[in-house]
Amino acid sequence: MAFAGSTLLRQHYHDVPLLSLAWGVGQIGLPFSESGGINILGFSLPLEADSTIIASVTPALSLGGSLNVKVVEIAPSSGKAASQSDALNLLLIMARGIAIPLADNAANNG
């Protein structure tokens, strides 16, 4: 047995990408899911409180020294996963729309 500690970590350690510089495995709970939904800074996210989140940072394959950030959610059911994926994609489209008027410079591109 590789780990004697957390069951959650033991179950999902194999999902962490190889050569990750930083990573985390966890489930979102209080105080973020007090009312059944996940709220951050007053904004409700379309995530289930019992979903497992796996996040990692890996070096990009390009020579520019950039990093890849990956966040994976393991939802409690395939129906929940599909609805949450649709809702998160809508949020990304909205965020990209807000960023379009920004000037093209290194600070804004970051």
Domain-wise residue ranges, the chain: 7-109
Instruction: Write down the pLDDT at residue 70.
Output: 86
Q: What is the pLDDT of residue 30?
A: 55
pLDDT surpasses 60 at 1 = no
Instruction: Please check the confidence at residue 59 and state whether its pLDDT lies above 60.
Output: yes
Strand, coil or helix: what is 39?
A: strand
Helix (H) or strand (E) holding 65: none
Torsion angle in degrees (nearest 10) through CA of 65, 58, 91, 101: 0
In the predicted model, is pLDDT for residue 17 greater than 70? yes
Lowest mean pLDDT among 28-42, 46-60, 65-79: 28-42
| Residues near 73 by beta carbon (within 8 Å), at least 6 away in sequence | 47, 51, 52, 53, 54, 81, 84
> Beta-carbon neighbour count of residue 73 at 10 Å?
17
Whole-number average pLDDT of the chain = 76
Beta-strand runs (E) in the chain: 22-27, 38-40, 43-45, 52-59, 67-74
Measured distance CA(61)–CA(43) in Å, rounded = 34
Of 41, 69, 76, 39, nearest in space to 55 by CA: 69
Better-scored residue on pLDDT, 4 or 72:
72
